[in-house]
A and B are shown apart, each in its own frame.
Chain A
Amino acid sequence: MKRYILKRLLLAVPVLFGITLITFFIIHLTPGGFTAVNMQMDIRTSPDSIERMRHLYGLDKPVISQYIDWFGRTITFNFGESFIDHRPVLHKVAERLPATLLLNILSLALVFFFGVILGVISAVKRNTAVDKIITVFTFIGYSIPTFWLALILMLFVSVKAGLLPVSGMVSIDFDYMTLPQKIGDLLSHLVLPLIVTSIGGLAYISRFVKSGMVEALSQQYVRAAYAKGLSRKTVLYRSALKNSLLPVITLLGMSVPGLIGGSFIFETIFAWPGMGRLAYESALSFDYPVIMGVVTMGAVLTLLGNLAADIAYAAVDPRIRYK
């Protein structure tokens, strides 16, 4: 078990290394980049001052040595500071982290909970009307463009009906609220972003649970469990369910990057102060240190998610635990 986790951790190192390296090369391979974009607006800018600027940020060195510099600083948790507002990258990322974690952890929990319920119902009631309705729903769920769904929900729920706040994470007067009010305010802001982030994953996971459950139900040990005289309930929800959840655990771990990175579109729409939006803004303004910070943090979160999934998997599956 310890060896298994250690092995997983070791495998993560080259991946982390690879991600940052690739990102670094991508952002440094572009001809103009930061200096071109940020200094064109300024009429006083001379070629000389652009050169000085590039030198200041070390952008005139070869990419490899720039990467080595960056890597050396990063392992001491020094991510540098933003080109744009000169605040430390670590602070910028850290202040976005709670919003991202809050939304994504809630979303993962929702996806898992409802995905398993829908998937199990669909498998147990296979080929009935209920199963067909769930199937249609899942198809719609993962075909719907989330940014469009976000717009539609905003239009009908917030703008037309005025039921929920249009965007943001908290109201302007949040600081003056009592604790219950604060929680209520936060929750009301969470509803739409949660629906939008969860719907695709929900559809995906429920289909996965369904096929896992159908597969488990066709196994010999399910027949053997019935032969022992176990009730249908026990067989379905004790024996088969556990087996069908195994692949879902891995899948949840793997869904972390999509949640973090794919979220920039609707984080922009909902003005949700998460890392996705920070990534988007920093990419648009060629803010290299922030991009690298976000990518590194995203990769670390992803690998942590994978590790958590691996551990959960081992906890469920004795074949891995006792290896």
Chain B
Amino acid sequence: MDIINVSNLYVKYAARKKYNMAVNGVSLDIKEGESAAIAGESGCGKSTLASALLKLLPENAQVSGNVMLDGIDVFAAGEEQLRKIRGNTAGMIFQDPGASLNPLFSVKQQIEEAITAHFGKTEKEELKRKSLELLSDAGITDAQRVYNSYPHQLSGGLQQRVMAAIALSCGPKILIADEPTTALDVTVQAQIVELLKKLKEEHKLTLLLITHDLHLANALASRIIVMYAGKIAEDGAVKSAKTALHPYTAALFKIIPSLDSPKRHFEVIPGEVASAEHNGNFCAFSPRCPYADDRCRSEKPELKEVKPGHFVRCFYPGGKK
């Protein structure tokens, strides 16, 4: 059964006298228990997509299309229902844990307000027991100390663990992790990856990871959804540049040095990221694509199922001509 169902999603941001398109027609189904990663360069619309799932978009965003989370229509939900979706259906952790925790409130306050928001008034003792359990569950060994701390007293890794504990405080079925390791040190990154794996197993979560790092995506997810210019470019179980069917996915694999590969040279994909504005009759990636030909420049490719469960938006999947 699909627990996340996105159909024909368009998101644009109102700027002075014009709109900036961020998500340009995305349809997507994710099954319960699946772990999927949405990947792409910054500006491809992946974070906007993640925010749209919980209707966490800024005020100037305009949305059309449909998002169903566990059978509930997110955009049609009223404030009360929306509150339940956020936290009960899906929890979310963010890129910069330091900025995601309110500096003026203790960990205790921030975790307990999440619990009371969903379970109503709870006994003090019960609240504390639950909070400590959630914190230890998130791999915090000295939960008691962290519980009484303020965010600025914690390291980035601990802050992200606290965020995870808060996200899971109301037993959601889905965990959305928006670049959960980007702001952290490399060693801490690995720990958070392990934590997310563990939490997914223990809580039988559906995991949706948002990342620019395909190796991280591979470490956590069995299915990778690559976005380019506000659209899905490729969707399937892609493990490496070789198994990638879209030249953009292959390029993404090549530019990111993997932790265990000995050669760590940085490459960039030449050219500029296309904006999601793009509505012309050509492939949005064609200006940067080494394989682009006249067809790519004069016709718009559609997302097609090339292999079972593997979709790609390219006339020449795998770069073959």
Contacts and interface: CB of A to CB of B under 8 A. Distances in A.
A226 B106 CA distance: 17
Nearest to A238: B113
A232 interface: yes
Interface stretch (B28-36, B81-89, B221-229): B81-89
Contacts of A246: 104
Nearest to B115: A228
B214 interface: no
Contacts of B106: 318
A232 B88 CA distance: 17
A225 B87 contact: no
B219 interface: no
A130 to B, nearest CB: 16
A319 B152 CA distance: 7
B101 A224 contact: yes
Contacts of A232: 79
B102 A221 contact: yes
B114 A228 contact: yes
Contact of A227 (B86, B152, B153): B86
B314 to A, nearest CB: 34
A228 B54 CA distance: 10
A135 B175 CA distance: 42
Interface residues of A, number: 24
Interface stretch (B92-100, B190-198, B239-247, B256-264): B92-100
A21 interface: no
B105 interface: yes
Nearest to A225: B102
A70 B56 CA distance: 64
B10 interface: no
Interface string A217-237: 001110111111111101000
Contacts of B84: 229
B49 interface: no
Interface in A307-323: 316-319, 322
B150 A243 contact: no
26 contacts: A220-B94, A220-B96, A221-B99, A223-B100, A224-B94, A224-B100, A225-B102, A227-B87, A227-B91, A228-B86, A228-B91, A228-B166, A229-B83, A229-B87, A229-B118, A231-B83, A232-B79, A234-B117, A239-B102, A239-B105, A242-B104, A243-B102, A316-B104, A318-B103, A319-B103, A319-B152
